[in-house]
């Protein structure tokens, strides 16, 4: 009794039916007073108890703690005749968090594949980051900045960049801003509406805006864009020296 009682890991003395005959103080602290080992094993893990009944072995299973929380443990048993000693070792915190996350996903999404959900989220985050980098603001000198636009000018691009671009222009103390459409492919109606809102914000910040690099296919989207303070140029000019040939 004394040796079992002082075991640092939660330990149970059980019979072949997994009735609890005795337990350590650490077991009571972790799982409360129990009569049957099955009572603290999650229903989804109970099939693994059959293996423990038959032979000395170790398995991983979800167990219900005294706080009524499901946590993963490595459960091992050593048999001596019809009595055995069961020890429960908590899985490392990092693995525990992962398994708990998987368990919660299984409960919410039933048969959904957690890894596919995770990959989808990663792809969405990567797309956001890519969009953010598709319209950087570049300082040309103390008064002049350049925003080179890349890819599709759509709602996703503008939604991810317009606030940041306006803030960077203001914090940089710029006066003149070139917006370069040379690398823009497709323009959508929702994208150009958000672009116009960005221009409105920049004009409130007293920006003088030059739009350059317009392609023929872009013109229909910009034909009604007649803000004062916005001009269209063929090239970027700084101190009468073109940066573009």
pLDDT digits (tens, 9 = 90+) for 47-72: 999 989 989 888 888 999 999 988 88
pLDDT at res. 129: 46
Locus of tokens 């959900």:
117
Question: Are 2-109 and 131-242 the same fold in CATH?
Answer: no
pLDDT digits (tens, 9 = 90+) for 127-164: 444 444 445 778 888 899 888 877 788 887 777 777 88
Q: In which residue ranges of the chain is pLDDT below 50?
A: 93-94, 126-134, 240-245
- CATH for 2-109 is 3.30.450.20
Domain ranges for the chain: 2-109, 131-242
Q: 103-112 b/e with 16+ CB inside 10 Å = b?
A: bebeeeeeee
* C-alpha–C-alpha distance, residues 233 and 229, integer Å: 13
DSSP type of residue 91:
P
Chain position carrying tokens 């992962």: 98
What is the rounded (10 degree) CA torsion for 34, 37, 38, 40? 60
Q: Which residues pair with 147 in a beta bridge?
A: 179
CA dist., res. 189 & res. 44, Å (int): 52
The CATH code of the domain at 131-242 is: 3.30.750.24
Task: Report in angstroms the alpha-carbon separations of 111 from 100, 117, 182, 190.
Answer: 16, 12, 47, 37
Neighbours of 145 (CB within 10 A): 22
Task: Determine the pLDDT at residue 186.
Answer: 84
What's the token pair of residue 73?
């443990």
Whole-number Å distance between alpha carbons of 168 and 174: 9
pLDDT of residue 133: 42
Residue 72 contacts residue 88 (beta carbons within 8 Å):
no
Please report where in the chains the tokens 């075991």 appear, as a residue. Answer: 7
């Amino acid at each position: 009794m004394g040796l079992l009682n002082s075991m640092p890991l939660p330990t149970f003395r059980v019979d072949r039916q997994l009735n609890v005959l005795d337990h350590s103080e650490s077991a009571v602290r972790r799982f409360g007073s129990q009569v049957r080992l099955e009572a603290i094993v999650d229903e989804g893990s109970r099939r693994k108890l059959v293996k423990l009944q038959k032979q000395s072995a170790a398995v991983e299973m979800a167990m219900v703690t005294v706080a009524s929380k499901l946590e993963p443990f490595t459960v091992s048993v050593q048999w001596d005749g019809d009595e055995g000693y069961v020890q429960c070792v908590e899985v490392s915190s990092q693995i525990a968090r992962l398994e708990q996350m998987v368990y919660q996903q299984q409960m919410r999404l039933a048969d959904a594949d957690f890894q596919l959900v995770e990959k989808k989220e990663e792809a969405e985050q990567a797309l956001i980051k890519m969009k953010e980098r598709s319209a950087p603001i570049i300082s040309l000198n103390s008064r002049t900045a350049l925003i080179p636009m890349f890819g599709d000018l759509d709602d996703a691009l503008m939604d991810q960049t317009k606030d940041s671009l306006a803030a960077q222009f203001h914090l940089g103390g710029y006066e003149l801003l070139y917006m370069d459409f040379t690398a823009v492919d497709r323009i959508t109606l929702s994208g150009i509406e958000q672009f116009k809102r960005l221009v409105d914000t920049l004009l409130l910040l007293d920006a003088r805006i030059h739009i350059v690099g317009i392609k023929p296919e872009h013109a229909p989207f910009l034909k009604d864009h007649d803000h004062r303070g916005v001009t269209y140029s063929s090239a970027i000019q700084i101190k009468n020296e073109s940066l573009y040939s």
